Structure 1
Amino acid sequence: MQRGRTPGAKDSRARSETLSGMKETADPHGAQLRARAVIDLAAVRANVRTLRERAPRAALMAVVKADGYGHGAAPCARAAVEAGATWLGAATPQEALALREPGSGVPADVRVMCWLWTPGGPWREAVKADIDVSVSGFWALDEVVAAARAAGRPARVQLKADTGLGRGGCQPADWAELVAGALRAEAEGLLKVTGLWSHFACADEPGHPSIAAQLLTFREMVAYAEAQGVEPEVRHIANSPATLTLPESHFDLVRPGIAMYGVSPSPEIGTPMELGLRPAMTLTASLALVKNVPGGHGVSYGHHYVTAGATTLGLVPLGYADGIPRHASGGGPVLVEGKWRTVAGRVAMDQFVVDLGGDEPGEGAEAVLFGPGDRGEPTAEDWAQASGTIAYEIVTRIGSRVPRLYVNGEQSG
């Protein structure tokens, strides 16, 4: 193979056909991209509609925390609203406040909620922005009450119950005191208790005994609060797996996160196709180098991979700085010219190598790390299995060095 070989017509045609039938956001610099994460907003809309069909009597909160699980919070929020979501969920107050910015394109009548607060957080800003804030403890109630006084308007507060997850939320033993404090503040006009909510520990494990136990505890804690005078707008506990498999958990609102991006919450529940979902992210890169090497050649740091014989190596310009798991070294799957390859040796900070087995696709050829699987490419779940993690982490960890390109941004019909 000659040094400096440029991609031929076959390579260019293959790249142009990759996004056939899609409307793509152009690269602002007009350059061939090192890598890209293509986000299909039509898939997001379709997934939200599917999830709404699973919970027809409940409103839907589209969870767009962590920059929309790596897909882009604002574009995915808009797509979800177009498909019927009436709430948006964020973890941090900064994420929630960004959704209230005019540039987000999120309609002002869409409710926004956030739940991951620490002392000294921007409570006043959240109150002024009409964001529903979650309160799990007495310190948070004190801070939101002070913020409401400073803002000159009542806060919208949702009380979170720890029904068994053992993470955020108020313990049952403290629930009466928290409810009483919230009602006192409500009587003073400082807040409105708009929601009662909780979160499952094992909804992604069908039949796990904690599921029924948590539902029972949630019903009891909700009943107590309502008996004391709380009149919530919404009661909710259902995450993605519960939305898909536990209709008894739907109450007034469901909160799908990973499922709205087309990723299955758990292989035990089903594949995306079996669940009627379509993965929205396709991660690709352009091969930076293709070269011949002899047998016995070490590859990447530590020489954990040594070529069995003369072969060709392809350099994929993505690494753990871009979110490619180092734990996938030696096993991460990649599709190159219709064939599955695996990471040869260690994933480095900016790049990794695949053994092409003598094939010569040429520099610039497309390497597909994961996508919906339509062309036989790996999926996020395949990378999760290769890395010993979950698919949530695979899509969420893709870093900011990888441009997001949005396709099918306009809703048809």
Structure 2
Amino acid sequence: MNETPMRVYAEIDLDAVRANVRALRERAPRAEVMAVVKADAYGHGALACARAARQAGATWLGTATPDEALALRAAGVEGRIMCWLWTPGGPWREAVEADIDVSVSGMWALEEVREAARATGRTARVQLKADTGLGRNGCQPADWEELVTAAVAAQTEGTVNVTGVWSHFACADEPGHPSIQLQLAAFRDMLAYAEKEGVEPEVRHIANSPATLTLPESHFDLVRCGLAVYGVSPAPELGTSAELGLRPAMALKARVALVKTVPAGHGVSYGHHYVTEHETSLALIPAGYADGVPRHGSGAGPVLVGGKVRTVAGRVAMDQFVVDLDGDGDLVRVGDEAVVFGDAERGEPTAEDWAQAAHTIAYEIVTRIGGRVPRVYLGG
């Protein structure tokens, strides 16, 4: 039986994920690699990408939320998993029972994980996060002594094992930014204090994707790679995916739903922000902002249709948008493939192209692809 053709789908190349992990391992040969699979692996599918990353040598997996980490365990994913975005009353006990490394940035979190450890009769794996200048999660230097002292006490009583000390860069995607060296210095100082007080971390880590690619001195024991695992450049300033030795893993594709001829002066989509200059053919692409195509890409987003990269005509709607074929109506048929973004090496628009069109970052473009868009895996 033939499968029903899909309106829109995200094609995920797991061979590309594996190749990217291997490339990142080569960039950081003395460090372990953590593949970050938060936010459903940046929209690529957490379970499939976690398994592919493991196969390519990623020894750690990283998630933001504990629910993401627990879902991986429930699916049978073994090995080291870390999660770092906790709120009071979170599933600490379940995480301890699942041998998940949990991040602690303040005293409240340390107290809750200690209670969970006592309740389970197990030792919790804890990683202490230092705020070295990002100003987001993490413990401020002024509060570091209190947190380290309490963590060492918890380790002495057997409720906690401090497995890591870590931090996160604010501007690693801007090579030469003065904050980078300031954060590295702060991290070294806070790490040295923790080790002096009796912390013996298995892993010390601060490098994200851009730091992994450009800042070897930041690699320490472990590098945390997110966007780079999926073959998207973490910043245009660092180079394209190809220049960084990465292969985009996601291609967002749709099937042309309608081709029609319209006269000159015809408005296209809501608000008539696009009006045809002459008689032309329009192609309807059945994907919209409910699928993750950014509305801010209206009138600017690139799409490969009929062998040419064309531009969205008018506004992106909830479920669809239009491209003007501009004299190429005979080249496009209903059912033909349209590539919203994919790999520049194949002549396709990229997630970065859409990021520029929508005035955002490539992280958002791939992560926002919605749940109603099926994922089709290659290289599984």
Q: Structure 2 matches for 1:6-405, cutoff 5 A?
A: 30-101=3-74, 103=75, 105-106=76-77, 108=78, 110-360=79-329, 361-405=332-376
CA distance, structure 2, for counterparts of residue 59 and residue 71 of structure 1: 22
Cα shift readout 1:186-210 (whole Å, capped 9, x = no counterpart)? 1111010000000000000000000
SS class of match (1:282): strand
| Superposed displacement of residue 152, structure 1 | 1.1
CA distance, structure 1, for counterparts of residue 362 and residue 145 of structure 2: 38
CA distance, structure 2, for counterparts of residue 341 and residue 60 of structure 1: 38
CA distance, structure 2, for counterparts of residue 145 and residue 347 of structure 1: 50
How high is the TM-score relative to the length of structure 1?
0.91
- Structure 1: give runs of 5+ residues left out of the alignment: 1-27
Cα shift readout 1:372-403 (whole Å, capped 9, x = no counterpart)? 12331101110001000011110010001111
Task: Specify the alignment match of 1:21 in structure 2.
Answer: none
SS class of match (2:310): strand
Note if contact 1:338-1:376 (Cα within 8 Å) is conserved in structure 2.
no
CA distance, structure 2, for counterparts of residue 269 and residue 339 of structure 1: 27
Note if contact 1:298-1:305 (Cα within 8 Å) is conserved in structure 2.
yes
Cα shift readout 1:163-188 (whole Å, capped 9, x = no counterpart)? 00000000000000000111111111
- Structure 2: give runs of 5+ residues left out of the alignment: none
Cα shift readout 1:41-68 (whole Å, capped 9, x = no counterpart)? 0100000000000000001100000000
Note if contact 1:284-1:368 (Cα within 8 Å) is conserved in structure 2.
yes
CA distance, structure 2, for counterparts of residue 303 and residue 384 of structure 1: 23
| Superposed displacement of residue 93, structure 1 | 0.3
Note if contact 1:43-1:262 (Cα within 8 Å) is conserved in structure 2.
yes
How high is the TM-score relative to the length of structure 2?
0.98
SS class of match (2:233): coil
Note if contact 1:313-1:354 (Cα within 8 Å) is conserved in structure 2.
yes
| Superposed displacement of residue 278, structure 1 | 0.5
> Size of the alignment, in residue pairs?
378
Cα shift readout 1:326-385 (whole Å, capped 9, x = no counterpart)? 000000000111111111110000000100113221111111111112331101110001
Note if contact 1:163-1:217 (Cα within 8 Å) is conserved in structure 2.
yes
SS class of match (2:236): coil
CA distance, structure 2, for counterparts of residue 374 and residue 204 of structure 1: 23
Cα shift readout 1:51-97 (whole Å, capped 9, x = no counterpart)? 00000000110000000000000111111100100100000000000
CA RMSD of aligned residues (A): 0.9
CA distance, structure 1, for counterparts of residue 89 and residue 6 of structure 2: 42
After the TM superposition, which parts of structure 1 deviate over 6 Å for at least 4 consecutive aligned residues? none
CA distance, structure 2, for counterparts of residue 133 and residue 241 of structure 1: 24
Identity score, percent: 75
CA distance, structure 2, for counterparts of residue 226 and residue 349 of structure 1: 53
SS class of match (1:308): coil
CA distance, structure 2, for counterparts of residue 91 and residue 120 of structure 1: 16
